[in-house]
Amino acid sequence: MSIPLKANHILPKIELLSEIKRLKKQKNAIILAHYYQDPEIQDLADFVGDSLDLSRKAAATEADVIVFCGVRFMAEVAKILSPEKTVILPDMDAGCSLEDSCPPEEFAKFREKYPEHLCLTYINCSAAVKALSDIIVTSSNAEHILNQLPKDQKIIMAPDRHLGAYLAKKTGRDMIFWPGSCIVHERFSEKELIKLKAEHPTAPVTAHPECPDHILRHADHVGSTSSILKFVLENPSEKFLVATEPGIMHQMQKSAPHKIFIGAPGADGRCNCNQCPYMALNTLEKLYNCLDRLSPEIEVDEITRIKALAPLNKMLEMSPTMASNRPPKSGRSF
């Protein structure tokens, strides 16, 4: 019989891991994890990936239960794409500052002001905002999708103004931005990054496009978490400066133990302030409990789901192939 764990109830780690594996089998569940999750969760997962990889896996799985180790908008995408499945999230408070920055009522009014604009919305938003959008994008497919649209198409890019500005600069497109941002990627300090670059002059800088331009302009490579991983594994350099959430370093160190990865610093010169506080809410204990109780469960009302499904399907149709996006050698896959 399963033991429900309270916050102060510590089951020995080894037992916790074997109990999670037993429950997973018993409930025909699959564990999907984002690269920003705790290393122990990444190691336990059946599949680790970026937002696009995880959406594709959620749409394709034959499991009855999807345990989503990531943040709420990611688990919601799994439910929108696979409504017949039970989708659970270890901690329902695992939100995202980008989602919080874009309330659907205000976004609907914003859209009305630009009737001729096509709305490309970053996947980091609520199901209700997706339902108001034309095409969903992630950091790994946004440029590829933009390049398929007519050059004179007017575009709204929401809710990440930094990703929007990066894409506008890269593609020369005319875009209007929603003023949202990621609290994690905004904390990197340009001054400290310049100092770090001077200390490690041969180390390429790789950065996530959620970083502001004053960080991106120092980067040798800009891309999604999968793309960052691919870059450090394929690039011959031995040392890298990494401007994204430090959870990604786990896969880097596993796949290339001989290389050195240094996290880009925050204003205090260290990088631990750049841990995503929402991703960090998921723990092994909460993972065990949610599998045991099949709760907290993600629910999306059917009207919103159908409306949000159309721009998500559009994204899947217009995305590059899975193989071109994935790192050559990374975390576990099922």
Sign of CA dihedral 219, 221, 226, 231: negative
Q: For residues 176 and 183, which CB has a smaller minimum distance to ligand SF4 in the complex? A: 183
The torsion angles phi and psi of 283, rounded to 5 degrees, stand at -130, 170
The token pair that represents 329 in the structure block: 């050698």
Q: What angle do CA 276, 226, 52 make, to 5 degrees?
A: 85
Q: Report the nearest approach of ligand SF4 to the CB of residue 172 (Å).
A: 25
Q: For residues 42 and 289, which CB has a smaller minimum distance to ligand 13P in the complex? A: 42
The one of ligand SF4, ligand 13P, none whose footprint includes residue 224, by CB under 5 to 8 A per kind, is: ligand 13P
Does 224 participate in binding ligand 13P (rule CB under 6 A)?
A: yes
Does 181 participate in binding ligand 13P (rule CB under 6 A)?
A: no
The one of ligand 13P, ligand SF4, none whose footprint includes residue 37, by CB under 5 to 8 A per kind, is: none
The one of ligand SF4, ligand 13P, none whose footprint includes residue 225, by CB under 5 to 8 A per kind, is: ligand 13P
The torsion angles phi and psi of 316, rounded to 5 degrees, stand at -65, -40
Q: Report the nearest approach of ligand 13P to the CB of residue 269 (Å).
A: 22
What residues contact 220, with CB distance under 8 A and at least 6 apart?
A: 204, 205, 206
- Bridge partners (DSSP) of residue 30 are 66
Which one among 46, 76, 210, 292 touches ligand 13P, defined by CB under 6 A?
A: 210
Does 182 participate in binding ligand 13P (rule CB under 6 A)?
A: yes
Does 50 participate in binding ligand 13P (rule CB under 6 A)?
A: yes
What residues contact 32, with CB distance under 8 A and at least 6 apart?
A: 45, 46, 47, 49, 54, 57, 58, 66, 67, 68, 69, 70, 78
Which region, left, alpha or beta, applies to residue 135 given φ > 0 means left and ψ of -120 to 50 means alpha? beta
The one of ligand 13P, ligand SF4, none whose footprint includes residue 278, by CB under 5 to 8 A per kind, is: ligand SF4
Note whether 219 and 242 are within 8 A (CB). Answer: no
* Separation of alpha carbons 95 and 278, rounded Å: 6
Q: Report the nearest approach of ligand 13P to the CB of residue 139 (Å).
A: 4
Q: For residues 5 and 90, which CB has a smaller minimum distance to ligand SF4 in the complex? A: 90
Binding residues for ligand 13P restricted to 96-155, rule: CB under 6 A: 124, 138-140
Q: Report the nearest approach of ligand SF4 to the CB of residue 131 (Å).
A: 20
Q: Report the nearest approach of ligand 13P to the CB of residue 68 (Å).
A: 13
Q: Report the nearest approach of ligand 13P to the CB of residue 208 (Å).
A: 6
Which one among 101, 225, 251, 282 touches ligand 13P, defined by CB under 6 A?
A: 225
Q: Report the nearest approach of ligand 13P to the CB of residue 73 (Å).
A: 8
Kindly write down the DSSP assignment for every residue of 28-85, as one continuous string.
Answer: TEEEEEETTS-HHHHHH-SEEE-HHHHHHHHHH---SEEEEES-HHHHHHHHHH-TTS
Site residues for ligand SF4 per CB under 6 A: 71, 96-98, 124, 182-184, 210, 245, 276, 278-279
